[in-house]
Amino acid sequence: MKKVGLTTTVPVEVLFAAGVIPVDLNNIFVTSGKALEYIEYSEVEGFPRNLCAWIKGLYATALLEDIDMVVGVTEGDCSNTKALIEVWQSKGKEVIPFGFPQNKRYETMKEEINHLMDYFSVDLQAVEKVKEKLYPIRQRIKYLDELTWKTNQATGFENHLWQVSCSDFNGNPITFLEDLENTIKEIEKRPATSSKEIRLGYMGVPPIIEDLYTLVEGNGGRIVYNEVQRAFTMAKEPIDTDIYQMYLNFTYPYDLERRLNEIKHAIEERQLDGIIHYTQSFCYRGIEDILVKQKIIIPVLTIEGDLPGRADARTKLRLESFMDMLQDLKE
């Protein structure tokens, strides 16, 4: 079966309806064990040193892993993707552009998804059918999220990993659900607790720093809310929301205001003590930090990551001081 790389979450229902295998390039890049090699490969090809590592990773992953073609998100994700697509195309890689309409109009979203459906020769009925099949899986992910923030049984990393994997359901929703059920069974065996630890929310693009969640736990905290990753699950959508509206309700590709409203709700509901705002070096989204600091009323620590790997000493120290400060406030 054809493997279709994704630069971020797209209407994956179209791809499953077409019988191809969606592959989130971000997930392959960070778990490949070759992330630094991939970045170096892209730099040798001419990608600037002062460009986000994710972009360089995606470029190399699509060319060096077993990927037949790519769906590249040109609106609502990354300002670098348009240029990235042109370079891929110059190397002979087939790329289909997809845009989340920034005017948030239903008709425009319809055009975008219909264009994708035409390309893959599938109709709306088939896509809606896949959406219904994915619904119970998305609900089980929602349950795993509750095992994180309601009963404190699932770890922040488990929460991150399973939610972020909803961009492509690891290429196969059936085996994804089997693995998910096994993980849930394991998590349910742990005792439910009323957490006395510092409760944190994580916002921003998924971290390139691999030990962030363990570091938080090592400093007496728990991440009980992963903002973007949760948005990827679409689990809050009722089953009868149509595919066009569902992807209009997806908060990640649109304005920060809507995301901030979700975060404010989570602060109340999940009793968060603080927020980690993750930004990626050389990413335009770093500018959002100005508004995040203005509009979030609980303490915010901004952490910037650059290359894949473990946190550097400065990040560890800043995180430790932040947790100490939150502990003092809590007491």
Task: Give yes or no for a contact between 38 and 56, defined as CB atoms under 8 angstroms apart.
Answer: yes
Nearer to ligand SF4, 74 or 280 (CB): 280
In the complex, the residues that contact ligand SF4 under the rule CB under 6 A are 52, 54-55, 78, 80, 205, 280, 283, 285
Q: Are 169 and 12 in contact (CB under 8 A)?
A: yes
Please, what is the minimum distance in Å from the beta carbon of residue 118 to ligand SF4? 27
87 CB neighbour count, 10 Å cutoff: 16
CA neighbours closer than 13 Å in the CB half-sphere of residue 270: 30
Nearest-angstrom CA–CA distance, 113 and 127:
10
We find the least distance from the C-beta atom of residue 144 to ligand SF4, in angstroms, to be: 25
**Minimal distance, residue 119 CB to ligand SF4, in Å:** 23
Distance (Å, rounded) from C-alpha 215 to C-alpha 221? 9
Q: Which is nearer to ligand SF4, 83 or 317 (CB)?
A: 83
Minimal distance, residue 172 CB to ligand SF4, in Å: 25
- Judged by beta carbon, residue 54 or residue 244, the one nearer ligand SF4 is 54
Distance CA 156, CA 210 (A): 13
Shortest distance in whole angstroms from residue 250 CB to ligand SF4:
15
Question: Minimum Å distance from CB 150 to ligand SF4?
Answer: 30
Minimum Å gap between C-beta 179 and ligand SF4 is: 26
Nearer to ligand SF4, 8 or 159 (CB): 8
Nearer CB in complex with ligand SF4: 56/222:
56
Strand partners, 278: 303
CB-nearer residue toward ligand SF4: 88 or 149: 88
Question: What distance in Å separates the CA atoms of residue 63 and residue 310, rounded to the nearest whole number?
Answer: 26
**Of the two residues 18 and 73, which places its CB atom closer to ligand SF4 in the complex?**
73
CB atoms within 10 A of CB 291: 12
| Helix, strand, or coil (residue 203) | strand
The rounded distance, in Å, linking the Cα atoms of 87 and 33 is 24
Distance in angstroms (rounded) separating the CA atoms of residues 28 and 26: 6
Distance CA 23, CA 165 (A): 10
